[in-house]
């Protein structure tokens, strides 16, 4: 009996190599490395410290949005309003601080509260009515977009006080300049990665995405958890608004029109399933870098922006196809 069960147990125990090969982030990481090799061979300007610093600066806003988007997609939801909410938050922060009605710190706090309020409202509508996340956030996208243009009066807000753009300042690291905003984005990724992988809250998020009913029967307060996740995502959109202001130096009512789709693209490319319950913030970080590397590399090669959009769309379709095939294989 013992002689037959021991070999069986060995066969069923995954080796370290097998775990690495089957990890959700292995494919996206391989794609990122291949893209870096390809662009390094295609243009001499790609493989430099300054260019990699530029890539991180270019993706820090979308990266912060993508963290919130990851939390929502892990619950089998989706948020189409994140870019518009970020734009409204940036206008609130910029106008409140530039017009001198509030000190910069209070203006930033108000912007975070406003964006968190949008997330709270999204969560309440999704959980209490309940309405499909796609419909709720599509409607909220239009609400936030309209409020942005009404409140800004279609005008870009300039002459911002120094504290609002402090995260856009740089410090030297070797031969490269790094922005403080890039460190904030990386810190947020690490914080949420720890929360999802090492806390009870993180395990509940995955359980909610796998089956809301099963999670409820296991004692998880699914309603409060869902509303909380949408609210946290909203606050993250407020932080993205601050990073956007620090990068551009203005409050722009036209901002945020493509960032919602870019954030979803990064999440999907990072291996998080659109059906919920599977994925990671680390994977999203890799997905954000994939988007940034492709756009940067294609720009250096002189590829027109419309073809960059075309290639990004093809990447998303490929990522979803791989996700569907892996789910069928797992059944």
Whole-angstrom CA distances from 206 to 91, 106, 226, 299, 304 are: 34, 35, 11, 37, 40
Closest C-alpha among 163, 164, 124 to residue 140? 124
Phi-psi region of 155 (alpha: psi -120 to 50; beta: other; left: phi over 0): beta
State residue 2's pLDDT score: 43
Whole domain around residue 320: which residue ranges?
A: 47-324
Whether residue 245 lies inside any domain: the answer is yes
State residue 305's pLDDT score: 84
Answer for the pair 60, 182: CB distance below 8 angstroms, yes or no. Answer: yes
Whether residue 199 lies inside any domain: the answer is yes
Quote the Cα angle for 192-132-90, to 5°.
50
State residue 326's pLDDT score: 66
Number of domains in the chain: 1
Closest C-alpha among 291, 298, 299, 279 to residue 315? 291
Whether residue 5 lies inside any domain: the answer is no
pLDDT (tens digit per residue) in 95-119: 999 886 789 999 999 999 999 999 9
pTM above 0.85, yes or no: yes
State residue 135's pLDDT score: 96
What are the 10-residue block averages of pLDDT along the chain, 331 residues in total? Answer: 46 62 76 90 89 90 96 96 96 90 92 97 94 96 96 92 91 85 95 96 95 93 96 97 94 89 90 89 93 90 86 79 68 59
Closest C-alpha among 79, 59, 83 to residue 69? 79
State residue 260's pLDDT score: 87
State residue 20's pLDDT score: 62
CATH of the domain at 298: 1.10.3470.10
Determine which helix (DSSP H) or strand (DSSP E) holds 18, and give its type and residue range: helix 16-22
């Amino acid at each position: 009996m013992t002689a037959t069960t021991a070999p069986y147990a060995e066969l069923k125990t995954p080796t370290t190599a097998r775990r690495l090969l089957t990890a959700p982030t292995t494919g996206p990481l391989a794609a990122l490395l291949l893209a870096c090799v390809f662009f390094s061979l295609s243009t001499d300007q790609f493989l430099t410290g300054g260019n990699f610093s530029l890539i991180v600066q270019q993706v820090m806003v979308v990266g912060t949005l993508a963290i919130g988007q990851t939390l929502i997609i892990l619950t089998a939801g989706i948020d189409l309003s994140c870019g518009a909410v970020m734009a409204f938050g940036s206008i609130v922060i910029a106008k409140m601080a530039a017009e001198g009605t509030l000190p910069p710190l209070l203006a930033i706090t108000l912007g975070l509260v406003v964006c968190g309020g949008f997330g709270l409202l999204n969560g309440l509508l999704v959980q209490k009515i309940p309405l499909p996340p796609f419909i709720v956030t599509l409607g909220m996208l239009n609400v936030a977009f309209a409020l942005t243009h009404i409140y800004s009066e279609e005008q870009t807000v300039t002459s911002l006080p120094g504290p609002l753009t402090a995260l856009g300042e740089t410090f030297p690291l070797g031969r490269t300049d790094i922005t403080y905003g890039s460190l904030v984005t990386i810190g947020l990724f690490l914080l949420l990665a720890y929360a999802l992988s090492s806390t009870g809250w993180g395990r509940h998020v995955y359980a909610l995405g796998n089956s809301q009913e099963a999670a409820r029967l296991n004692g998880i307060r699914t309603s409060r958890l869902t509303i909380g996740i949408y609210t946290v995502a909203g606050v993250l959109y407020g932080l993205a608004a601050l990073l956007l202001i620090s990068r551009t130096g203005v409050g722009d009512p036209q901002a945020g029109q493509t960032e919602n789709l870019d954030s979803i693209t990064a999440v999907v490319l990072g291996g998080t399933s659109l059906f919920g319950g599977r994925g990671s913030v680390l994977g999203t970080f890799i997905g954000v870098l994939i988007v940034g590397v492709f756009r940067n590399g294609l720009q250096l090669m002189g590829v027109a922006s419309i073809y960059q959009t075309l290639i990004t769309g093809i990447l998303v379709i490929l990522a979803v196809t791989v996700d569907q095939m892996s789910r069928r294989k797992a059944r």
